[in-house]
Amino acid sequence: MKSLFLFMMTGSAWDWIRRLGLPGLILYGIFDNTPFISAPPGSMDVFVILLSVGHPEWWAWYAFMAIIGEVLGGYLTYRLSEKGGQETLERKIGRPRAEKLYKHFEKHGFITVCAGAILPPPFPFTSVLMTAGVMHYPRRNFFSALTAGRAVRFLAEAWFGRIYGQQMIGFFSLHYKPTMYALIALAVAAGIGALIYYLWYRPRHAGRNDSKTVASGKASEREGLHHLQGDHK
């Protein structure tokens, strides 16, 4: 048990959260949802669970503070994207993926925000927040979906940490080294996958889309010429 706690406590973020207490979760939640600050994926979930394990009687407060921080951070990203985040979003995930996200958001905006707020990493939730801002999704619907999703996620995690936290920590303490090796392997695999995507798949996909655009333009030109020739005759 001690080994896992020591591992978590070596991080500056964890020390910061412990010193600030409940307000620290709000501030960290704001940072966790902004596209400019890179917080470790899932770190808020870990903090909520560990705090609920250490002080079970406060589990609902920990969840509530995390929800407030995450909703405020999500709204900040929404507002920034609302004022010109389209270029940033398309640079971040690529224009073809962004266009697919726009179309999906038009039909299922509420579900997209709510489900994205529940899903754990590596789901790219920041992209969903930015899309909501770019498309000027109604604020009331945005707040409702984001709050509902985050409430389900963090209340469930805090309650789970309160009830089963000691057993979880005991398990990971006994299997500390294999767990660390598995996490390192996953991080390396994710890094390799991202490298392949940005260096090989994304340029090829963009090239195919450009070719299709050129081909469709040429087809339109030919069709226009045919119409002109027909009118001339």
Q: Are 124 and 112 in contact (CB under 8 A)?
A: no
Q: Does pTM surpass 0.85?
A: no
According to the model, what pLDDT value does residue 84 have? 76
For the segment 42-90, what is each residue's pLDDT rounded down to a tens digit? 788 888 888 888 888 899 999 999 999 999 999 999 998 888 778 888 8
- Nearest CA to 143 among 157, 123, 129, 126? 129
- Nearest CA to 138 among 115, 160, 105? 105
What are the residue ranges spanned by the domains of the chain? 2-174, 176-233
For the segment 21-36, what is each residue's pLDDT rounded down to a tens digit? 677 888 888 888 776 6
**Sequence-separated (6 or more) residues with CB below 8 Å from residue 110:** 141, 144, 145
Question: Per-residue pLDDT for 193 more than 70?
Answer: no
| DSSP reduced 3-state for 73 | helix
Question: Per-residue pLDDT for 188 more than 70?
Answer: no
Task: Give the lowest-confidence range in 27-41, 59-73, 153-167, 194-208.
Answer: 194-208
Give CA–CA dist 187/103, Å, rounded.
31
- Confidence band of 20 (pLDDT split at 50, 70, 90): low
Give CA–CA dist 38/73, Å, rounded.
13
pLDDT mean across residues, the chain: 75
According to the model, what pLDDT value does residue 168 have? 64
Q: Are 115 and 148 in contact (CB under 8 A)?
A: no
